[in-house]
Amino acid sequence: MPPPPANVGGGQGGSSGIRRNRKKTLLIVSLVLALLLAGGLAGGEAYARNKVEKCISSQFQAQMGSKIDVSLGWKPLLLTMFDNKVSSVTVDSDDTKFGPAQGMVVHATFNDVEMNDGGKQARVGSSDADVTWSNEGITKTLGGLVSGTTSDPNTGTLSFAVLGGLAQLQVQPKIVGDKIEVDTLQASLLGFGLPTDLVSGIVKLMTESLQAYPMGLTPNKVEVTKDGLHVTLKGGNTVLQADQSQQQQPLTC
């Protein structure tokens, strides 16, 4: 009996080769499309993050009255472009001015930020902040009223050099309700009391500096450190309105 004819370039072997080539081609095309999609999403996310960061930075900077650094939370910013919601906003500033205060260092986090009403307001779910106010910053704020500031964490007091260092004024900051008040403990010049207007002027300026906090933040702890003051702030659900009197841009991104 003669042998069966050889299967040259056909049959199951040929079909299998064609299928393998098709699968390889589809895999390559799929990988290329996936890379293009990933690149497009990455580029879109970078654009959205830059746009939203600039927007929020300008608005929060207007609220805090100083130059700030802003970083945003975990949520993809491409989604924020559609729903106007940001998971969290972290703000850092080395020279914040709360009221008359100068030289405050602030680290704050605002959670669940949502822009509403066509950008006329923003809602913050909760917030917290740490504020550090150095003795140098306190002296600068009080201007010509004092020539120096020292702090004593053991007694929880601040001492001011008054009248060129000839007199001393000692005060103690404390939390009363949701505000910080400043009590006068001692004020003397060579055994005599200091002028009432001078003492009240210093205490008033200190108090105003420690009570002017933006964005619904209120103090819940104040500590005297060896370098100055440390204040902890908390905030609940708060609505931030665009300041029309200063012609600020709407709170929108």
Q: Contact at 8 Å (CB) between 125 and 213?
A: no
Q: What are phi and psi of 157, to 5 degrees?
A: -125, 160
Q: What digits encode the pLDDT tens for the residues 127-180? A: 999 999 999 999 999 988 999 999 999 999 999 999 888 889 999 999 999 999
Q: What digits encode the pLDDT tens for the residues 10-57? A: 555 556 666 666 666 666 655 555 554 445 445 555 665 666 666 666
Helix (H, G, I), strand (E, B) or coil at 112: strand
Q: What digits encode the pLDDT tens for the residues 77-92? A: 666 667 778 888 888 9
Give the CA angle between residues 245, 98, 233 to the nearest 5°: 115
> Is the pLDDT confidence value at 187 over 60?
yes
* 178 alpha carbon, distance to own chain's centre: 21
> Is the pLDDT confidence value at 249 over 50?
no
pLDDT of residue 235: 92
Q: Amino acid identity, residue 76?
A: P
Query: Residue 21 has which token pair?
Result: 């080539």
Q: Contact at 8 Å (CB) between 32 and 183?
A: no
Domain extents in the chain: 46-243
Q: Contact at 8 Å (CB) between 108 and 91?
A: yes
Give Cβ neighbours of residue 239 (< 8 Å, ≥ 6 apart).
121, 122, 123, 124
Q: What digits encode the pLDDT tens for the residues 198-227? A: 899 999 999 999 988 888 899 999 999 999
Q: What are phi and psi of 87, to 5 degrees?
A: -65, -45
Find the mean pLDDT for residues 50-65. Answer: 68
Half-sphere exposure of residue 200: CA atoms within 13 angstroms, side-chain side: 3
